[in-house]
Amino acid sequence: MCTRRWLRLNSPTIKSNHLGSSNLIRRRPTRLLNIVLSILMENKFIAARSLGVRLPMTKKANSSVLACVAALWFCLSTSLSVQAGDWGRFRGPNGTGYAAAAKFPATFEVADALWQCPVAGMGNSSPVVGGGNVYVTSADPETSVRKLTAIDVESGKNAWSVEFPLQVFKAHKRNGFASSTPCADERHVYVLWQSATDSAIHALNHQGKKVWKYELGGFAAAPGCATSPILHEGRLLLTHDNEKHESFLLALDAGTGTECWKTIRKTQRTGFSTPVIYQGKSAVTQVIFSHAYEGVVAVDFEKGEILWQNIVFGDHQQRAIGSPIVANGLVIAASGFTTGVKTLVALDPESVDGDGQAREVYRLMRNVPHCPTPLVVGGLMFLWTDRGILACLEAETGLEVWAKRIGGQFFASPVCAGGIIYGVDRDGVVTTVAASREYKLLGKTELPAGSMSTPAIYDGKLIYRTTQGVIAFGK
């Protein structure tokens, strides 16, 4: 049964209550990881704030918090064991782009790659991993026939591919028809295809058999399409914003494709960002969406009701391409235009006023990326701009620590493993920088071809998608 909600309703203020540690561990492993990382980065007071307590300035209190976190970490390690190798959506677990336990060298030799697999056609979708396969999409630019390709994650051999004939439509030359990243769980891989007449989300099993299809209706946008679906607790979540047809936010049962809820959006501007999950102090799980003109919206995961909405980016020409992230108790999102104004805001979802707006903690308009998504490691936020400037800031305050020009053009988002940030530019040059308060350029590697896709990190492998195919480094 279809449950429809309209945006900009009078949304109730979110009431918070403190959950027990067992619930915190079970429902919020990513949040706990941020807490532990904050303490390891000596941000004890940030960690205490994340736990929802005030930390007196005494050694005894500090010792108590450290002891508490040590115990939580023991439990957390068990909770995260299933998620440790997970990279089943764009930018990995909850879109963080961060794999704390993974370690790779700062530079690679292409000759030493674990494997390389060619992929026919054009595509900017990022690789994801599920069911023992790496998944990418591609399309024939002439016929618009689109393809989902499965590559065995261990051998690098092409396992199977499935074609989807779709109508040709106008798209930006750097976008094409295969920029949406699939997502995957233990049962299925899910791929979103948007087209003028046959937009749909498809579920296939890991052997390539089609399981279900949910039709989305028409789609129209001058630059083409690029938003990606995500999975959370058995539901598939996505946004279907476009310029001539009905726009909406959607939740489907991942096993059957049955609609859970559908929230209508009155917008005539395409959205390209990918949603993220926020699990705060209350028992209500929030799905966070960002959009140029709808701003940042939090939706109740269970019901599809709007919890809060901040229209924060202005009414000038812009698109929200980079995706929202959740870090250190904040929701961080950006929107802008390549050659125009770009804005990043950090919002506190635990502080919602009577008008249904989250408190704005800070706003940035300098060194804000248009396409790449922000990356947070511990208490530091890294902004890698399209034009090759990398800025390091305090994630809690937005205060700049340093900014350096890297060079190159960047469409892919940076990722971090083992304290090293990996950024790949349009020409396929991978630049590595230390994830630290001090700027340290670690090295550069040239991939066999250019790349506009964000790499995946899985089971000791760093997996890149280039214009020629997929290449894996590691072990």
- With respect to residue 181, please indicate whether it lies within any of the assigned structural domains: yes
Beta bridge pairs of residue 5? 263
Same-domain pairing of 187 and 106:
no
- Parts of the chain with a pLDDT under 70: 1-85, 166-177, 220-226, 267-270, 292-293, 316, 318, 320, 338
Domain's final residue, options 244, 272, 300: 272
Domain CATH for 213? 2.40.128.630
Q: Is residue 252 part of a domain?
A: yes
Q: Is residue 400, in this structure, part of any structural domain at all?
A: yes
Tally the domains of the chain.
2
pLDDT at 261: 97
Inside any domain, residue 332: no
Contact 289, 249 (CB under 8 A): yes
The answer to whether position 291 is within a domain reads no
Verify that 104 and 173 share a domain, yes or no. no
pLDDT for 293: 67
Predicted pLDDT of residue 24: 39
Are 459 and 441 spatial neighbours (Cβ–Cβ below 8 Å)?
A: no
Residues 138 and 98 in one domain: no
Nearest residue to 229 (alpha-carbon basis) of 175, 278, 193, 262:
193
d(CA 273, CA 371): 9
Domain boundary pick from 272, 296, 322 = 272
Q: Is residue 143 part of a domain?
A: yes
User: What pLDDT is attached to residue 225?
Assistant: 65
In terms of residue numbers, what domain contains 250?
A: 122-272
Question: Could you give the CA distance from residue 354 to residue 331 in angstroms, rounded to a whole number?
Answer: 19
- 330 CB neighbour count, 10 Å cutoff: 23
As a whole number of angstroms, the distance between CA 444 and CA 106 comes to 8
pLDDT at 176: 66
User: Is the domain of 382 the same as that of 411?
Assistant: yes
Please say whether the beta carbons of 149 and 205 come within 8 A: no
Measure the CA–CA gap between 30 and 163, rounded to whole angstroms.
36
Whole-number pLDDT of residue 255: 97
Last-in-domain residue among 272, 295, 314: 272
Statement to judge: residues 188 and 236 lie in one domain: yes
Question: Residue 407: left (phi > 0), alpha (psi -120 to 50), or beta?
Answer: left
* Domain presence at residue 230: yes
Question: Given this model, what pLDDT does residue 115 score?
Answer: 98
Give the tens place of pLDDT for each residue, 289-303.
998 668 899 999 999
3-state SS string for the chain: CCCEEECCCCCCCCCCCCCCHHHHHHHCHHHHHHHHHHHHCCCHHHHHHHHCCCCCCCHHHHHHHHHHHHHHHHHHHHHHCCCCCCCCCCCCHHHCCEECCCCCCCCCCHHHCCEEEECCCECCCCCEEECCEEEEEEECCCCCCEEEEEEECCCCCEEEEEEECCCCCCCCCCCCCCCCCCEECCCEEEEEECCCCCEEEEEEECCCCEEEEEEEECCCCCCCCCCCCEEECCEEEEEECCCCCCEEEEEEECCCCCEEEEEEECCCCCCCCCCEEEECCCCCEEEEEEECCCEEEEEECCCCCEEEEECCCCCCCCECCCCCEEECCEEEEEEECCCCCEEEEEEEEEEECCCCCEEEEEEECCCCCCCCCCEEECCEEEEECCCCEEEEEECCCCCEEEEEECCCCCCCCCEEECCEEEEECCCCEEEEEECCCCCCEEEEEECCCCCCCCCEEECCEEEEECCCEEEEEEC
- Residue 356 · residue 364 · CB < 8 Å: no
Rounded to a whole number of angstroms, the CA Rg of the chain reads 21
The reply to whether 51 falls in a domain is: no
In angstroms, the CA 466 to CA 448 distance is 8
Residue 298, phi then psi, degrees to nearest 5: -110, 125
Looking at residue 353, what is its pLDDT?
A: 97
